[in-house]
Amino acid sequence: MAVQINPSILSADFSRLAEEARAVEGADWLHVDVMDNHFVPNLTLGVPVVESLVRATDTPLDCHLMIEDADRWAPQYVEAGAGSVTFHAEAAAAPVRLAREIRAMGARASMALKPATPIEPYEDLLPELDMLLIMTVEPGFGGQAFLDIMLPKIRRTRELISKHGLELWLQVDGGVSASTIERCAEAGADVFVAGSAVYGASDPSQAVRALRTQAREATAHAAWACDH
């Protein structure tokens, strides 16, 4: 399974978003953090900025919605041109209906879990999703320290994916950097969001390449990947 690196523009210069998007053109996806000041204590951007970003880059957009009432708003991000839309389990009243709606509209459907939300209640929903996002910080801000206590949840999720034979991508987001990405890959993640580790680097494209190399090597030695 291929490793994917998704730089988060939350750590970019918001006055130069088009340029910042193009600075990581070798990336697999551009991770776009949408925050509403209700679900998380921070406010970022919405549909009009996503529409502009779609026009500004060839890299597909991975929209991470940290917003309340996801059932109502998520479809608008598909319409805006996002290739993948992630809603939070804690913010969706009807996650199965919402995932089906996102897929029917032509985007990849993804669901995120905050650190205190367990994966187990969602086991039967996993076939409805294209990606599961495990937050490795409390959502809301870039530049926070990686929560090692999330590694067992990543492992358990990878086991569920294998048990059911799913093609589900497993994304990690928060504090992912050169010093933590190998632990994530070893535990079972295959899609890595990195904000400050990419945009804080002097050469963001080079940072993406270096993270990808590290993740690939760690995956090659990981027990979960060797089983396949």
| Catalytically annotated residue among 33, 62, 130, 190 | 33
The helix/strand/coil state of 3 is: coil
- Tell the smallest beta-carbon distance from residue 198 to Zn ion (Å): 13
Among 196, 205, 209, 210, binds ligand DX5 (CB under 6 A): 196
- Residue 41 lies near ligand DX5 (rule: CB under 6 A): no
- Tell the smallest beta-carbon distance from residue 225 to ligand DX5 (Å): 23
Span of 31-39, 53-61, 101-109, 162-170 interacting with Zn ion by CB under 5 A = 31-39
Among 5, 64, 73, 214, binds Zn ion (CB under 5 A): 64
Whole-Å CA distances, 140 to 5, 34, 78: 20, 10, 22
| Catalytically annotated residue among 62, 130, 173, 190 | 173
Q: List binders of ligand DX5 among 65-94 (CB under 6 A).
A: none
Q: Are 182 and 214 in contact (CB under 8 A)?
A: yes
Nearby residues of 217 by Cβ (< 8 Å), 6 or more positions away? 182
Write out the two tokens for 204: 């963001």
How far is 197 from 211, CA to CA, in rounded Å?
A: 9
Span of 59-67, 74-82, 162-170, 219-227 interacting with Zn ion by CB under 5 A = 59-67
- Tell the smallest beta-carbon distance from residue 165 to ligand DX5 (Å): 29
- Residue 10 lies near ligand DX5 (rule: CB under 6 A): yes
How far is 39 from 90, CA to CA, in rounded Å?
A: 9
Type of residue found at 42: N
Site string for ligand DX5, 130-169 (x = CB under 6 A): -------x-xxxxxx-------------------------
Type of residue found at 133: L
Backbone dihedral angles phi then psi of residue 88, each to the nearest 5 degrees: -85, 135
Looking from the CA of 146 toward its CB, the CA atoms found within 13 Å total 20
- Residue 204 lies near ligand DX5 (rule: CB under 6 A): no
Q: What share of the chain is helix, strand, coil (3-state, %, to 5)?
A: 45, 20, 35
- For the question of residue 33 being annotated catalytic, the response is yes
Residues with a catalytic annotation lie at: 33, 173
Which residues lie near ligand DX5 (CB under 6 A)?
A: 8, 10-11, 31, 33, 64, 137, 139-144, 173-176, 193-197
Which residues lie near Zn ion (CB under 5 A)?
A: 33, 64, 173
